[in-house]
Structure 1
Amino acid sequence: MQHLLIIAIILINSLFILVFIRDLIRHRTEVMAEPANPVWTPIAQIGIFFLSTFGVSDFAISTAIYSKAKWVSMKKLPGTLNAQDVIPVFVMSLAYISSVKVGITTLLVCIICQALGAFLGPYVVIRLPEKRIRQFVIIGLLVATGLILGGKLGWIPDGGTATELYGWKLWLTGVLMFVFGALNNVGIGSFSLTMATVYAMGMNPIAAFPIMMGGCTVSLPIGSMQFIRLNDYSRKITLFSIFGIIGVLIAVFLVKSLNTSLIQWVVIVVLLYSAFGLYQENRKHEWMA
């Protein structure tokens, strides 16, 4: 069953790559005209996905960087956050699913439910005004900050030893994963939320990684293909996301035991600063209106 799951993951992500390449070719004259910096964007991708491999929200970090650097409009930010994740998370998922033991039923329920949420989300996001998207992004930054801070201060359980869920815990986790998949599409990343859920359900903390990577590696390409179809994402940032693979491989294979405590404190400060900046921007738009 695990082999079938890996084959399904490869097929879904390969389909996304084909759709993305076709869209790049169709809009090849527009890609390099997009505002993302061709030098700093690849460097940023390496750092973003290096941290993401340890469970630090790449949605939140990307939002902090992109909103400050003006690399993508707020309207196209949710689609960009989803599309840029597909290829690096694909690599992460193969690394973790093949090396970390999690019950196959639990893994399948989490992946399928998150994929369903991701499929429905883009049709809602495309109808939202920029102000509302900015508000969702601020919430996402604050949620990510709260979860990181909660883990460091011991407010969130450290988890247990289980590798499989049963009964109401499995059903509740499935419902939450559906919600997390939908929230991805408004710029609220699911990594931190999934990690907190897995801990609260009494699972082994390491089990969070194949669950959150597996769920995202199916849900992200499904949702991102909708954003591609709706022309609501940055092609340049998504193209440069292939450099994120470098960050993933460094984290997975070279520094598995890295102590990220100091990095997490830095990330907390950056996320709070970014949330405040977006709040100020919302206030400015309200004043101008």
Structure 2
Amino acid sequence: MLTMLLILLGLGVLAYLAALLRVVIPQRAVPKPEAVLLGGVTNFFDTLGISSFATSTAWVKFRNLLPDRLIPSTLLVGHTGPAIMQAIIFLVLLGGNVDPVLLVGCILGVLAGAVLGASLVSRAAVWLVQAMVALGLVIAATIFLLINLHLMPGAGTASSLPLPLLLGAIAANFGFGVLVNFGIGNFAPTLIMFSLMGMDPRYAFPVMAGSAGIAGAGASIRHIQIGEVDLRVVTGIILGGIPAVLVAAFLVKNMDVVMLRWLVIAVVYYAAVVMARSAWAGFKQR
């Protein structure tokens, strides 16, 4: 099944690249230098467990690099390239240790949710997208806060789940896939869910990374077809993010990220408040 997942991931890579190049080349979308730096920094720490979605959204909002409506779709398409690289690494290193039914089921669940939920962002009102992004930021920052305060549930040692929990995990990952389209990354929710279910948190990484890579490719193709993305930011994030993932994965073994999380918490909460205020203003004017 691991081989099947890697083949599926490879097909996703080809489809993702084909869809992206089909629009990037005719429009001559030159990467924004700031987006290259953003992709490098955020994806480096994403590989270490600090969400690239939350930190990227905070910076994009702070710098006004994108209209609010384009933030979720642009970041999803841009971060999918680095996410695919993470997926290959974690599936090869740890994928063989995870129950194959759980691994494949959860990844396909996220893929289905991401593809079916892609159209929701383009159809949703701007204030609703802003509200969902604000919610995602609050969730991410709160998770970081709980981790730093040692309030996260204790992790187990299991590599598989009994049937009821397995089905629940697959259903939950479908929901995570839908939320990915609104800028809410699946890493932190998946890690918490598996920890609560008694699994070894290390085994969440093949599921999280595999889901992000495969589902991200599927959802990204839809967003590219819809056209609600900033291609200069997308290409910048990809260009900076992929080398950063390789550096983080192969050169960094045990880095203390607690202090970095405190900084991220402050920045992300600030961005969430700003986004929520914009959503409230838009809601009142609808």
Distance in 1 (alpha carbons) for counterparts of 2:12 and 2:285: 44
- Counterpart selection for 1:249 from 246, 249, 261: 246
Distance in 1 (alpha carbons) for counterparts of 2:154 and 2:88: 25
2:129 maps to 133
Corresponding residue SS for 2:229: coil
Q: Does 1:23 align with 2:20?
A: no
Q: Deviations over 1:66-93 (max 9, x none)?
A: 1111111111111112101111011111
2:110 maps to 114
1:235 maps to 231
How far apart are 1:205 and its partner, in Å?
1.1
1:277 maps to 274
1:150 maps to 146
Letter in 2 for 1:174: I
Letter in 2 for 1:5: L
Checking the alignment, whether the CA contact within 8 Å between 1:111 and 1:211 is kept in structure 2 is yes
> 1:194-233 to 2 correspondence within 5 Å?
194-233=190-229
How far apart are 1:192 and its partner, in Å?
0.8
Distance in 1 (alpha carbons) for counterparts of 2:123 and 2:278: 21
Checking the alignment, whether the CA contact within 8 Å between 1:46 and 1:247 is kept in structure 2 is yes
How far apart are 1:114 and its partner, in Å?
0.5
Corresponding residue SS for 2:228: coil
Q: Deviations over 1:35-67 (max 9, x none)?
A: x8x222211111100111122111111110111
More contact order relative to length (CA 8 Å, sep ≥ 6): 2
How far apart are 1:17 and its partner, in Å?
0.5
Q: Does 1:63 align with 2:60?
A: no
Letter in 1 for 2:262: W
Corresponding residue SS for 2:98: coil
How far apart are 1:286 and its partner, in Å?
6.1
Checking the alignment, whether the CA contact within 8 Å between 1:158 and 1:205 is kept in structure 2 is no
Letter in 2 for 1:24: V
Q: Deviations over 1:197-232 (max 9, x none)?
A: 111111111111111001111111101111011001
How far apart are 1:159 and its partner, in Å?
1.1
Corresponding residue SS for 2:254: coil
How far apart are 1:3 and its partner, in Å?
1.8
Distance in 2 (alpha carbons) for counterparts of 1:198 and 1:287: 39
Corresponding residue SS for 2:68: coil
User: Where does the alignment leave 5 or more consecutive residues of structure 2 unmatched?
Assistant: none
Q: Does 1:193 align with 2:202?
A: no
How far apart are 1:129 and its partner, in Å?
1.4
TM-score (norm. length: structure 2)? 0.94
How far apart are 1:283 and its partner, in Å?
4.7
Larger helix fraction of residues: 2
User: Where does the alignment leave 5 or more consecutive residues of structure 1 unmatched?
Assistant: none
Checking the alignment, whether the CA contact within 8 Å between 1:83 and 1:224 is kept in structure 2 is yes
How far apart are 1:105 and its partner, in Å?
1.2
Distance in 2 (alpha carbons) for counterparts of 1:131 and 1:186: 12
Checking the alignment, whether the CA contact within 8 Å between 1:183 and 1:189 is kept in structure 2 is yes
2:67 maps to 73
Distance in 2 (alpha carbons) for counterparts of 1:131 and 1:73: 12
Distance in 2 (alpha carbons) for counterparts of 1:80 and 1:225: 12
How far apart are 1:251 and its partner, in Å?
1.1
Q: Does 1:44 align with 2:38?
A: yes
Q: Deviations over 1:72-121 (max 9, x none)?
A: 11111111121011110111111111111212111101101000000111
Q: Does 1:263 align with 2:260?
A: yes
TM-score (norm. length: structure 1)? 0.93
Checking the alignment, whether the CA contact within 8 Å between 2:127 and 2:278 is kept in structure 1 is no
Q: Structure 1 stretches (4+) deviating beyond 4 angstroms?
A: 283-289
Distance in 2 (alpha carbons) for counterparts of 1:158 and 1:27: 50
How many residue pairs get aligned? The number is 283
Corresponding residue SS for 1:161: coil
Checking the alignment, whether the CA contact within 8 Å between 1:115 and 1:178 is kept in structure 2 is yes
2:85 maps to 91
**CA distance 1:164–1:237, shift in 2 (3 Å):** same
Distance in 1 (alpha carbons) for counterparts of 2:15 and 2:216: 12
Checking the alignment, whether the CA contact within 8 Å between 2:127 and 2:280 is kept in structure 1 is no
Sequence identity, in percent? 28
